[in-house]
Amino acid sequence: KKLVPGVAGTTYPIERLGIAPVVMADGPSAVRLSVKREGDDKKYFATNVPCETLLASSWNNEATYKIGKILGEECREYGIDVLLAPGVNMMRNPLCGRNYEYFSEDPLLAGKMSAAMVNGVESEGVGACPKHFAVNNQELNRLHNDARVSQRALREIYLKNFEITVKESQPWMIMTSYNNINGRHASEDRGLLETILRDEWGFEGIVVTDWGGGYDAAKQIWAGNDLIEPGRYAEVKRIMEAVKSGELAESDLDRCVKRVLELVVKSIRHKGYKFSNNPNLEENGKLTREIEPEGFVLLKNEQNALPFTKEQKVALFGTGAYNLILSNSVSVRSLHGRTVNLDEGLRNAGVSLNEALDKRYIKHMQNEKKRLAPFWKLRRWCTYDLRPVELRDIRNHTARAAEESDIAVITIGRNSSESFDRHVERDFNLNMHEQAMISAVSRDFHSRGKKVVVVLNICGPVEIASWRDKVDAILVAWLPGQEAGNSIADALLGKVSPSGHLSTSFPMKYADVPSQNFPHNEVEWCAESGKNLSRVFDQKQPIYYDVPNIDYTNYEEDIYVGYRDYATRKVEVAYPFGYGLTYSQFEMSDMSVKECKDGYKVSCTVKRAGNFPAKQVVQLYSSELAPEVDRPTIELRGYKKTPLLQAGESTVVEIVIKKEDLMTYNEKASAWKLTKGEYDLLLGFDSQTLPLKHRITITKEILK
């Protein structure tokens, strides 16, 4: 509170020894600190950047690196030494409450994006702290849930993302998760923290608990968890007693002390950096606006419904357009000084809105804000957020709006937060009022030959198959950050082409999701029973009531997460992993595969055939023809985003992979294994459309 109000915490300073405190702030949607300070009229804002799902959907490492630089610069200028970000966990299930701050259902994409953000943050002289290590894939009972997962799935899916992050960025810190993994708390697992993280991967930084995580401080120190936050005297006492009794070796404690001191001497506070409390918010906002459309995903665009022109009058439907979700409500509530809703963004771009409909929504939103104000005032950050309801009399407005307007834009919003998971009926599926709005708007506009566009301002996938045929275009804008209204308007009007591709699959229905034992719709059960609430901090021992999927979760789908399952089982999806359209068309040709040191250099030519300047994403997958162990039909091995291509322009894309990238984890040998045989390398623009193929032969088995 004295150093930087509103941050997560610090290490303990020892002034007589010249040991400065290390200040840590939450992320990744923004640098989290207090906007107001006692006795100070100045407001301390931070840039609200796009959520990590949007960044991963950009498939653009450079863009994510730039967002990391924004976060790093603002940390530095506010006197913050370490940003507690990025979130790296896998999207095992689309209902996980924190998926918005995770990157992908694929570990390679998540790991590459995480490394890019870490490198961006740390290029500004401050540290990054990827989290939550590991297997933090549900929020319900997250402090005590035991994630029971095979060693193969652990290595290939749930640790691979962290491995890539460590090897390609070497972050200053890593945060352990609250949950247990196969019966052992993550922060008390020496095999995880020392054998795997440090000895195998070469991690050189410190390991910190999540705030309040862990059961036994002495076991945490022994395991290699160097820093316990926020820190309590009882933990200090427990460590001291363990050392005195010989239960904990003094050398184990010394090891952790040494690592923490190494962090201290790297910190800007120790180095005496004179921070300004004045980061470049204006420039950071401009860059954020440029980057946001990189991750917008155009799912549908029939008969070139998009882009439309500013001369067309727009009928703007949906409360979400007047109350865009910029980010999750926990990390960045009131942290930014700028909020641009879609109505404002369209007006800024010179678009005329249907006046009568606009007035109706403005009045409705005023009433909704009054109705919800008491809840918002009393709401704890870890409880479900209420959103304004849709107009109940929408059918009274659609016909007139269709007569007076040229095009309809409907906005659907979804938010989620730490400490609770989403619901199937309440969150994943559209409610009856949203379905009624889409049906009524589409009927009246289409009967007059006019187009209907849907903007999805969402934290994660929603059910889309039941209504997509009713509309002409669908744009996924995710949680875009503070420039949301302006950047969405830029995309709708064609000032820039959306160029994102899905970093997570959109299933046809929730019943198709491979992880069906996820605790969906369980929040009310826990609240009513009083058992296993997510915010239990004061238990000395884990509480087990033996409730499946709450006390423990068996990862029954094993390695078959997301598209790995859909592709292998041939399950139809609404939109596959890696899918995304642009306002132009592209052709891919001339695939070439050349063997190089320890791997292969894969290249192809991408040519823009359409009339609109745009970027495209090339994706490389592998498929083993006769695997000796069960494995997915396809697995992502690399990707590359093209530069902006003009009409008729082409570019050569190169992707390099190592032979070890084709390995599977052999549980009997406790090692990675590359088997002899034939493999197909496949290139395409999404995981279902892979037109180019080249077969390679591995002649020598490798065990690593």
Pull the structure tokens for residue 190.
Answer: 């020496």
Better pLDDT: 214 or 314: 314
Q: What is the mean pLDDT of residues 42-56?
A: 95
Q: What is the mean pLDDT of residues 277-286?
A: 95
DSSP state at residue 215: S
Torsion angle of the four alpha carbons 307, 310, 315, 321, in this order, in degrees rounded to the nearest 10: 80
What is the Cα–Cα distance from 682 to 674, expressed in whole angstroms? 18
Q: What is the mean pLDDT of residues 409-413?
A: 97
The predicted-structure confidence for 431-479, as pLDDT tens digits, reads as follows 999 999 999 999 999 999 999 999 999 999 999 999 999 999 999 999 9
Catalytic-residue membership of 40: no
What is the Cα–Cα distance from 639 to 618, expressed in whole angstroms? 6
pLDDT score at 622 = 98
- Catalytic pick from 210, 252, 490, 661? 210
Better pLDDT: 522 or 397: 397
What is the Cα–Cα distance from 12 to 347, expressed in whole angstroms? 50
pLDDT score at 534 = 43
Which residues, in sequence order, are CB contacts of 317 under 8 Å at separation 6+? 357, 394, 401, 408, 409, 410, 411, 437, 441
Contact 157, 210 (CB under 8 A): no
DSSP state at residue 383: S
The predicted-structure confidence for 107-142, as pLDDT tens digits, reads as follows 999 999 999 999 999 999 999 999 999 999 998 888
Pull the structure tokens for residue 462.
Answer: 């929603």
What is the Cα–Cα distance from 11 to 37, expressed in whole angstroms? 22
What is the DSSP track for 152-177?
Answer: HHIIIIITHHHHHHHHHH--SEEEBP
This prediction has a pTM of 0.96
Q: Is 201 left (phi over 0), alpha (psi -120 to 50) or beta?
A: alpha
- For residue 342, the Cα-to-chain-centroid distance in whole angstroms is 23
What is the Cα–Cα distance from 413 to 395, expressed in whole angstroms? 20
The predicted-structure confidence for 635-665, as pLDDT tens digits, reads as follows 999 999 999 999 999 999 999 999 999 999 9
What is the Cα–Cα distance from 568 to 553, expressed in whole angstroms? 23
Could you give the 3-state DSSP secondary structure of residue 562? coil
Q: What proportions of the chain, in percent to the nearest 5, are helix, strand and coil? A: 35, 20, 45
pLDDT score at 260 = 97
Mean pLDDT, the chain, whole residue set: 93
Residue 205 vs residues 8, 73, 168, 208: alpha-carbon distances, Å:
19, 21, 14, 10
The predicted-structure confidence for 223-281, as pLDDT tens digits, reads as follows 999 999 999 999 999 999 999 999 999 999 999 999 999 999 999 999 999 999 999 99
Half-sphere exposure of 477 (CA within 13 A, CB side): 35
Say if residue 214's pLDDT is above 70. yes
Say if residue 530's pLDDT is above 50. no
What is the Cα–Cα distance from 345 to 321, expressed in whole angstroms? 10
